Chain A
Amino acid sequence: MNENTNTQEKEKKAKGDELVFPIMALAFAIYYLYTILDLNWEAKVNGVLVGSILIFLIAVFLFRTALDWQRGKISLKFKTFVFNSGIQLTRIWFLLLAVSYVVVIPWAGFTLTTFGYLVAAMLLLGVRSPLRLFAVSLTLSVSGYLFFITLLKTRLPLGPVERLIDWWF
């Protein structure tokens, strides 16, 4: 009996993950509507229209999911966003490295930060050869400097490397 229940449970599609996006969208819609409460109708009308349609669509989606769950067709377990697998941890570290790239770049500048980020990210993703790490990161960051800063004159954050090159030439 117990085994049968377990098998049935396994056969059910885990739909908990699919609720993350609509709940996030619902939270945003409520926040949006809250921020326009005291505004004039001209500033409200679009938000009310789009927000109401969005909330209605999410309600339909949640209702359908609840029906399927009640009928035993699906379970509300999470399958994708489970943080105990190796790849999820790597992904979180990878994302944190990207966040630190954004935090450091105003001070260290484009070239140095890109070089450091590429070394760290490739190391995290399993590149172990020091020569490859160094060569690929250096090539990419120098190419980026030449293309974006020298050729296209893009306004990128400048750091010690860019200032040194400016001073030198």
Chain B
Amino acid sequence: MEYILKNGIVYDPANGVNGEKKDIMFKDDKIVDSVSDNAKVIDVTDKIVMPAGVDIHAHIAGPKLVVGRLYRPEDSRRGVTQKTAHEKGESGFSIPSCPTTGYRYSRMGYGTVCEAAMPPLEAKHTHEEINTIPNIDVAPLPLFGNNWVVMEYAKENKIDELAAYVSAWLKLSKGYGIKIVNPCGTEAWGWGMNVHGYDDSAPYFDVTSRQVVRALTKVNEKLGLPHSIHIHPNDLGHPGNTGTTIETLGSVKDIAKSTLPSASLRDQVMHCTHLQFHSYTGTSWKNAGSGAPDVAKFINHNKYLTGDVGQVTFDETTTMTADGPMEYDLYKLSGLKWANKDVECETGSGIIPCIYSPKNPVNTLQWAVGLELFLLINDPWQLCLTTDSPNGGPFIRYPRVISWLMSNKRRMEMIENREVHKWAEKRTTLATLDREYDFNDIAIITRAAPAKIDGYTDRGALTPGFKADIAVYDIKPNEFDPSRNPKEVEKAFSRALYTIKDGQILVKNGEIVQTKPSHTIWTNVTGLEDQEAKVIEDIMPFFKQYYSVKWSNYKVHDHYVPNPIKIDVPVK
């Protein structure tokens, strides 16, 4: 089937197209240069046309979502809708049901999401959930930062063995890249402790976060994975954590990016996620302030770094992370119901509801720090829009964040009218920042940059040959001032005029008109098969002794991933 999107105002930053009136054509599931006269014309005259959105960091599938849904029935009843001809009934706000997740991303014009934390032991279930999420492609990132084998290899600096281990585990878990969460800290939490600072060691392992992160970065570049390491540093959410963050960011400066073609798209060697939660000064919440200027300055000077923000959106949400000790700290602060989990030999996790209130000074500080990062990091290609969904707020709030970024007037209104606590003005520089994003910048931070940072070579741009993943929004950018109309911006980005995924129209006028199965994107490293077999043989005694599952039950078999997009990464 051939289509032509006629006369749209196209924002395609990867191809240098900034608000040009042109036609976008696609045939079947691919974007093409030209179509025949029989192509179906969709008139989008003067409306915004962008590649479909790419979310680089969200928690949308996996066992912790299930725990969240089970222990927060009060969240599941929010956003309930009845089934329609094309969609099942929706439920949930911060932790929506699996189908709801797919519908809501589609409505916002998104096509790809990176599931940010998948314990390899629980990968099977994560994939089962991904299979029930329609309309979006999902790339799950397995957790390696507190894995016992990884920590042992990192301590002994056995990079070759570690590379073979990571390569094998990406295959076993059908994962896309290397995720590190509070390296050594979550393992310490297994003993009721945490690590504080980058050079603190995990108990009984005698290995530091620095050693683990550097070893995994070297492995990532040795293998030439499409995505860099994806790190959630130590000390999340602690006042004064800016130092740890900058130390973490700076610690991989000397590690060269891979020269392998599979890693050629990206520029970075480290992607630091939800920077907002890692950019506080002070020694306690009483004297906490913003570390965003320091973090932003460091990122501005170092092109080997990228990040996403993890913006707080003032909602009642559910925090969930593999950073178990942080969740315990949050529980001690709020006293709300808390769930805690240890994943044997690999990681842990915690879940707790969180009510971000604009009247709360700390929440306001977090909100302002996030916006500061957006406004102070100069190059939008180094930054992605996220809310660390659902930790800072659910992903359905991305349009609201966009409206804040495009309107200094709205930000100042919130500060001056005391819609937010006075800490926004007193403890951050937000009130002094008048930068406003334009539609091209928004297209970068929501599509082009995440696709580039993730290393996708088939999406995030409207290049002929790429997937026909396209979003059309009901805004005429040449007749519209987003700075003065933040509500209209939010409304338009919440309900795409069209969302096209793999050449199929899934959303029309903000309503789902079709659903399709999701794809799972995973990385298949080839060329290290012998080394992988050797490593598996070496660790098998450990596996048999410490894991409570059998090796034959550990692997994610192919039938768990019925719609794979396998990225082959040959290593010579």
Q: Do A and B come from one complex?
A: no
Interface residues of B (CB under 8 A from A): none
Interface residues of A (CB under 8 A from B): none
